[in-house]
Structure formats: C-alpha cells, structure tokens
Amino acid sequence: MSGLNSKDYKKTSKSYQPKTNYVWNCIKAFVVGGIICVIGELLSEMYIHWFDFSEENAGNPTVATLIFLAALATGLGVYDKLGQFAGAGSAVPVTGFANSITSAAMEHKSEGLVLGVATNLFKLAGSVIVFGVVAAYVLGIIRFTWQAIF
C-alpha cells in the first residue's frame, strides 16, 4: 500500500489536470452566443420585412426557426461540435434547449417511439415546463398582490 492520503492524492491528481483558460472560454461563449443572437435578429428582421409581420409578432416564428435550425444542426452533428467549442455560449439561448431535446430523442430512438423518444423528451422538457409554469404562477401572484396594494 502506498502512503498517499487524501490531501496528497488531490494535490498529485491536480497537477495532471489541464489548466482551464477562463478568459478564452468566456470570449468564445460570448462570441458564439452573440452570433446566435445576431442570427435571431436577422431572422426577426426577415419576418418583419419579407413576410409583413409586426415587431410584436415576429418573435414567434423567429424562435420557431431557431429551434428548427438547432434541432437540424444537432441531427447533423454540427451543434455538438459548436457546444464543445463555445460551451455556455451555445447552451444558454433557446437553441441550447432545442439541442438537448433533440439529443435526448436521438439517444433513445432505438427504444421505440413512445417508450424511447417520447418519454425521454418529456423527462427533460417536463422539468423545464414545470419550472416555467411555477415561476409564471409565482410572478403572477406577486404582480397581483403588488397591484392590489398599490
């Protein structure tokens, strides 16, 4: 038995871990997230000018298009490479959620349409929907209370 205790082991193993360049990672995340947002703005302008949507109504098809493009890129294996490069920059926008949903569906497609794809989609999306509904409910109560008081 070697004489390595827990502290020595952590110190030794840490010396073999690659150093993380936080500044470079932040720059990559900022740039890629920004590019995704610019694409969203371009899509929004396209819906406004080419399809006569109002500014208020252009957001819905813009988000739907971004979700479709992210799902397509995930299916083609492009979005995963982008995620490895950009980190949180590709995970934070709505496209990151589309990527995670599509990845879950692709991973479990061999288990069948209902027991594989559908159940694993709802495992991931269900928690997001629940938290969204609960957050909207709580904020609605706060707003109602605020308006009743003032």
Count of structural domains within the chain: 1
Structure tokens at 80: 């995963």
More confident residue, 113 or 79: 79
C-beta contacts of 25-28 below 8 A and 24+ residues apart: 25/87, 28/85, 28/86, 28/87, 28/89
* Residue 106 included in any domain: yes
17-44: pLDDT as tens digits: 888 889 999 999 999 999 999 999 999 9
* Residue 108 included in any domain: yes
- Position 57 scores a pLDDT of 94
* Residue 45 included in any domain: yes
145-to-1, 13, 70, 148 alpha-carbon distances in Å: 66, 54, 39, 5
45-66: pLDDT as tens digits: 999 999 999 999 999 999 999 9
Structure-token match 């288990």, residue found: 111
CA torsion angle for 93, 95, 97, 103 (degrees, to 10)? -150
Q: How confident is the model at residue 81 (pLDDT cuts 50, 70, 90)?
A: very high
Q: How confident is the model at residue 2 (pLDDT cuts 50, 70, 90)?
A: low
CA torsion angle for 14, 17, 23, 27 (degrees, to 10)? -150
For 82, the domain range is 21-149
**Is a pLDDT exceeding 50 seen at residue 1?**
no
Cα(63)–Cα(100) distance, rounded to whole angstroms?
16
* Residue 15 included in any domain: no
* Residue 7 included in any domain: no
Q: Is 0.85 topped by the overall pTM?
A: no
**Is a pLDDT exceeding 70 seen at residue 148?**
yes
4-15: pLDDT as tens digits: 788 888 888 888
